[in-house]
A and B are shown apart, each in its own frame.
Chain A
Amino acid sequence: MASILDHARITVLEQGVGLTQAGILEVLQLPDDEIEAALQLAHEVRMRWCGPEVEVEGIVSLKTGGCPEDCHFCSQSGLFSSPVRSVWLDIPSLVEAAKQTAATGASEFCIVAAVRGPDAKLMKQMRDGVAAIKAAVDINVAASLGMLTQEQVDDLVSMGVHRYNHNLETCQSYFPNVVSTHTWEERWTTLKMVRESGMEVCCGGIIGLGETLEQRAEFAAQLAQLQPHEVPLNFLNPRPGTPLGDRPVMDPKDALRAIAAFRLALPKTILRYAGGREITLGDLGTRDGLLGGINAVIVGNYLTTLGRPATADLELLQELKMPVKALSATL
């Protein structure tokens, strides 16, 4: 009987068709001695359907903390005893952060706010901030502002925001264990509006929230159904004061299985290394991921935690002969 990797070599690598949920689960259940082969195949799939370029992005928090939602992994919820205080970034600092991001060669700069959805104050700050960035920096601007109304979607399009991030975070069946203040379906509704607006859809989540392997496979299959332009893959970084603050960091081997499985589920999608990779996989993990299906990275720091220096990732890309995707190639 052919193994799941033999099957994936035909359907995913040769035909560009992602694995089914059952196939994804088989990859997530591979024994340790087959992880390397899974990563190798995922890398071949990425090279065949996406190419060698790596999309580099910087992210910044425009409005930190004080969020009314209860996402159990998040240190920015105002409902937990997290030490993260509420703070707003001013426009000159936002532009400076975009400049610093562009200086790394990045083509993406994502502005993030810890909110259920944007209010009038935040939308004004976005309008002013995006205009100031576009006047000073040559970089694509993305946004992540929670759940949107149709009017807000239209406003973001008119500002020139080209991609919108709204993570489903985990699969539909596990979501109520992670968030109680809104539903997975509400997030899906925002994603549909974003898709129909013409903005690129960026949607991923966090691995290691306590979901089963079956639910991890369900999540990858649901993302494949959505067909986002980009999937950011985070690994839980347990934050003090949050309900998931005492969860263990996930097993690095499981993280590598997840990388391979998500690539084999999403052969043509930008698969981005996001938060938690340093604490889960260490420095070597970045290399393993980039040689295992990942074709995009967040460089520098995250929203409330710190990452590897951007130079470390850029030097690694050079060593691996993976060119940074140019801004002109993203337009």
Chain B
Amino acid sequence: MTYCDRCGDEGVHEACAQARALEPPRYCRHCRRRLKVQVVPSGWSATCVEHGAIDG
């Protein structure tokens, strides 16, 4: 099972994928937990408490 990293629902969503061009991920694809996300001017970092750092 994989989850959408924007809305947290199951599967992959075209609209979410488009929106992600201007947004960092918010949910872990593996477990659907909300990510700890830090946005800085030149990038972002995201961490799942269970699965660790998420790659951009």
Binding site for B on A (CB under 8 A): 58-61, 64, 83-85, 87, 89, 93, 96-97, 100-101, 104, 240, 278-279, 299-307, 310
Instruction: Indicate whether B7 reaches chain A with its CB closer than 8 angstroms.
Output: yes
CB contacts (< 8 Å) of B37 on chain A: these are 64, 84-85, 87, 304
Contact A58 B41 (CB under 8 A): yes
Instruction: Indicate whether B40 reaches chain A with its CB closer than 8 angstroms.
Output: yes
Contact A240 B7 (CB under 8 A): yes
CB contacts (< 8 Å) of B40 on chain A: these are 60, 89, 93, 96-97, 100, 300-301
CB contacts (< 8 Å) of B6 on chain A: these are 240
Report the contact-size class of chain B (Cβ under 8 Å from the partner).
Answer: 20 to 34
CB contacts (< 8 Å) of B34 on chain A: these are 83, 85
Binding site for A on B (CB under 8 A): 6-8, 21-24, 26-27, 34-44
Contact of A306 with B36 at beta-carbon distance under 8 Å, contacts A83-B8, A301-B44 already known? no
CB contacts (< 8 Å) of A64 on chain B: these are 37-39
CB contacts (< 8 Å) of A307 on chain B: these are 22
| Most A-side CB within 10 Å, residue of B8, B36, B42, B44 | B42
Cα A301 to Cα B27 with chains together (Å): 19
Contact B27 A310 (CB under 8 A): no
- Residue pairs across A and B with Cβ atoms less than 8 A apart, 22 shown, are A59-B41, A64-B39, A84-B26, A84-B37, A85-B35, A85-B36, A85-B37, A87-B36, A87-B38, A89-B38, A100-B40, A101-B41, A278-B22, A300-B40, A301-B42, A302-B39, A304-B23, A304-B24, A304-B37, A305-B23, A306-B24, A310-B41
Contact of A306 with B39 at beta-carbon distance under 8 Å, contacts A83-B8, A83-B27, A83-B34 already known? yes
Chain B facing A: main interface SS: mixed
Further contacts, 14 of them, CB under 8 A, given A97-B41, A300-B40: A60-B40, A61-B39, A83-B27, A85-B34, A85-B36, A89-B40, A97-B42, A100-B40, A100-B42, A240-B6, A299-B41, A302-B39, A304-B37, A305-B24
